[in-house]
Amino acid sequence: MLRINEYRRVESLEEAYGLNQKKNNKIIAGGVWLKIGDRRLGTGIDLSGLSLDYITETDDVFMIGAMAVLRDIETHPGLLAYTDGAVKESIRHIVGVQFRNCATIGGSIYGRFGFSDVLTLFLAMDAEVELYEGGMVPLKEFVHMPYDNDILVALHVKKKPIHIVYKSQRNTATDFPVAACAVSEYDGKLHVSVGARPARAELLEIASDAMPGTEDGIRAFAEELAGQFVFGSNRRAGAEYRRHVTGVLLARALRELAGQKQHERRNGEMK
Ligand SMILES: Cc1cc2nc3c(=O)[nH]c(=O)nc-3n(C[C@H](O)[C@H](O)[C@H](O)COP(=O)(O)OP(=O)(O)OC[C@H]3O[C@@H](n4cnc5c(N)ncnc54)[C@H](O)[C@@H]3O)c2cc1C
C-alpha cells in the first residue's frame, strides 16, 4: 500500500525541485506505478497544476510535457504520422485505455523500467530529456544515468527524415513484454533499441549501409544484432528465449523498414 504523510500540489517547478531534494519525498505523476508496492512517502509532490500535459509540434521538434499521458501520445496525429504508427504500436499494449489515460511520459521515462515499451521506442529517435536542474540530456545518456532528485520537465523529439518500426512480444495480452525492440533509420544510421531484456533498454547504432538486401541476409543480420545485447531471466522468460525472440522481432522490423523505404521510393515521397 502507498502511504503519503503530506500531499503538495506545487505551484512552480522550483517548489517541486526543492521538495524533491528530501529523501522521503517523491514526485507523483500518474501515480499508477507508485501505488503498487509498499511505500511510505513524506511528501507526495503533485505536478498536475503546472500545465505540463502538453504535446507541442513545431517544424523541428515534438515537445512532450512530463505530465502528458500515454493515451494522448498514442493518439497524437503528428506523432502517429511522424513514426508511421510506431508510437501507437509501442503503447497500445500497455494494460488498457483507462490506465494509459493516467500513466505519464514523465513517469515512464524517469522510471527507466526494464520492461518499458515507451523508453525502447523513444531511444530509437533523436530524443532529449529536459531536466529542471540538469538541462537538456540526450535520452541515450539519460538511460544510463543513476536515479537522482532532478525533475523531468519534458521529452523533446527532434524531427528529421526517419523510418521507424516497433515490435514487442508478450506472453499474454497487456502483460509486460518479454521482448521489445525499435529499429529506425535517420542521419545515415540504423538505430536499434532493445528493451525488456529485462533491464533498461540499450541502443546500438550502425551505418545504414550495413542493412542487407536479401531475406537471408536480414535474418542473419537480425540474429547477429540480437547477439550483441545482454539478456537476463525472470519469471516471464529466460535469457536465451528473449535473445531468440528479439532476433525474430528485429528481422521483422528490418523487413518492414526496408518496405517503408521501398514504398517511399516508389511514391517519391519524403517526410
Ligand atoms: C501494472 C502495470 C503494468 C505496466 N505495463 C507496462 C508495459 O507493458 N509497458 C510499459 O512500457 N510500461 C508499463 N507500465 C509502466 C507505465 O506505463 C508507466 O511508465 C508507469 O506507471 C509510470 O508512470 P506514472 O505516470 O504512473 O508514474 P508514477 O507512478 O507517478 O511515478 C513513477 C516514478 O517516476 C517518478 N517521476 C514521475 N514523474 C516524474 C518527473 N516528471 N520527474 C522526476 N521523477 C518523476 C516518481 O517519483 C516515481 O519514482 C506498467 C505499469 C504498471 C503499474
Q: Whose CA is nearest to atom 19 of ligand 1?
A: 108
Q: What is the pLDDT of residues 122-150, one digit of tens each?
A: 999 999 999 999 999 999 999 999 999 99
> Contact, 167 vs 253, CB < 8 A?
yes
- Do 129 and 78 share a structural domain? yes
Percentage of the chain lying above the pLDDT 70 cut? 99
Return the best residue to mutate from 32, 50, 67 for the ligand 1 pocket (most ligand atoms within 8 A of CB): 32
Q: Which three cell numbers stand for residue 166?
A: 516497433
Side-chain half-sphere of 29: how many Cα atoms within 13 Å? 26
In-domain check, residue 69: yes
- Do 31 and 160 share a structural domain? no
- Do 127 and 41 share a structural domain? no
Structure confidence at residue 22 (pLDDT): 97
Percentage of the chain lying above the pLDDT 90 cut? 95
Name the residue with cell 521482448: 179
In-domain check, residue 231: yes
Does the pLDDT of residue 62 top 90, yes or no?
Answer: yes
In-domain check, residue 271: no
Distance from residue 33's CA to the centre of ligand 1 (Å):
5
Structure confidence at residue 33 (pLDDT): 97
Q: Which atom of ligand 1 is nearest to the CA of 69?
A: 25
- Do 155 and 113 share a structural domain? yes
- Do 118 and 13 share a structural domain? no
- Do 141 and 109 share a structural domain? yes
Other C-beta atoms closer than 10 Å to the C-beta of 92 total 16
- What's the mean pLDDT in 98-124? 98
Domain span at 10 = 2-45
Distance from residue 267's CA to the centre of ligand 1 (Å):
40
Q: How many domains does the chain have?
A: 2
- Do 218 and 136 share a structural domain? yes
In-domain check, residue 15: yes
Distance from residue 54's CA to the centre of ligand 1 (Å):
18
- Do 197 and 220 share a structural domain? yes
Structure confidence at residue 103 (pLDDT): 98
Does the pLDDT of residue 269 top 80, yes or no?
Answer: no
pTM of the model as a whole = 0.97
Q: What is the pLDDT of residues 16-42, one digit of tens each?
A: 999 999 999 999 999 999 999 899 999
Structure confidence at residue 183 (pLDDT): 98
Parallel/antiparallel/unpaired status of strands 163-170 and 177-186:
antiparallel
pLDDT grade for 264, boundaries at 50, 70 and 90: confident
Structure confidence at residue 270 (pLDDT): 54
CATH number at residue 183: 3.30.465.10
- What's the mean pLDDT in 156-184? 98
Q: Which residues is 204 bridged to in the sheet?
A: 192
Cα distance between residue 245 and residue 243, in whole Å: 6
- What's the mean pLDDT in 60-81? 98
Distance from residue 175's CA to the centre of ligand 1 (Å):
15
> Contact, 117 vs 194, CB < 8 A?
no
- Do 66 and 24 share a structural domain? no
> Contact, 144 vs 224, CB < 8 A?
no
- What's the mean pLDDT in 248-269? 91
- Do 134 and 241 share a structural domain? yes
- What's the mean pLDDT in 76-86? 98
In-domain check, residue 79: yes
Parallel/antiparallel/unpaired status of strands 55-57 and 61-65:
antiparallel
